[in-house]
Amino acid sequence: MIDLARWDRMLEEAGIRTTRHRLLVLDVLACHRQPISAQQIHAELHERGARIGLTTVYRALTSMAAAGLVHTFTRTEETVYRLCGPAKHHHLICRVCGLVIERVEEDVMAGFRAEEVYGTCAACASPEITP
Ligand SMILES: [Zn+2]
Ligand SMILES: [Zn+2]
């Protein structure tokens, strides 16, 4: 079920070596639209029966984040990770639920180029509407 060829190409384009651990971590990240923590990834891999240590998950995440393949966010003192699209973008981040939206258009406000914009997503702004 792992789309090996696709992840292989992604890692190659990011300029880092393909390892089984990186592939496993990428595959979990690809299942989530919201950023998730290393612990969560570790737990999911264990559920799938993959034998991989938390330190290894961290190492895979760190190298992929350094290569720009995975983006990191800070949520209540923990770092969470997200596999973003290849287009250059900045992030709209919901303070309430942590939803991340990639915004490709450039936002320049009073000479500032936006990198991360915090706010409230549509679902959190009107909770009576089903998310
Ligand atoms: Zn991103
Ligand atoms: Zn939200």
CB burial readout 100-114, b (16+ within 10 A) else e: beeeeeeeeeeeeee
Cα–Cα distance, 68 to 16 (Å, whole number): 10
- Centroid of ligand 1 to alpha carbon of 104 (angstroms): 10
Distance 48 CA to ligand 1 centre (A): 26
Q: Is the pLDDT at 127 greater than 90, yes or no?
A: no
Q: Is the pLDDT of residue 50 over 80?
A: yes
* 97 is known to lie in a ligand binding site: yes
Is 84 annotated as ligand-binding? no
- Known binder of ligand: residue 31? no
Nearest ligand atom owner, CA of 131: 2
| Residue 94 annotated in ligand binding | yes
Q: How far apart are the first and last CA of the chain?
A: 28
Architecture of domain 4-83: Orthogonal Bundle (1.10)
pLDDT average, residue stretch 42-56: 95
Q: What residues pair up with 73 in beta bridges, in sequence order?
A: 80
Q: Give yes or no for residue 129 having a pLDDT over 70.
A: no
Nearest ligand, CA of residue 127?
2
Most confidently predicted of 42-46, 82-86, 105-109 = 42-46
Please give the average per-residue pLDDT across 78-101, as a whole number.
91
Alpha carbon of 92 to ligand 2 centroid (Å):
10
- Is the pLDDT confidence value at 73 over 90? yes
105 Cα: distance to centroid of ligand 2 (angstroms): 21
Structural domain spans, the chain: 4-83, 90-125
The alpha carbon of 28 and the centre of ligand 2 are apart by a number of angstroms equal to 22
**pLDDT surpassing 90 at residue 85:** no
Q: Among 59, 57, 85, 58, which residue's Cα sits nearest to residue 71?
A: 85
Which pLDDT belongs to residue 1? Answer: 53
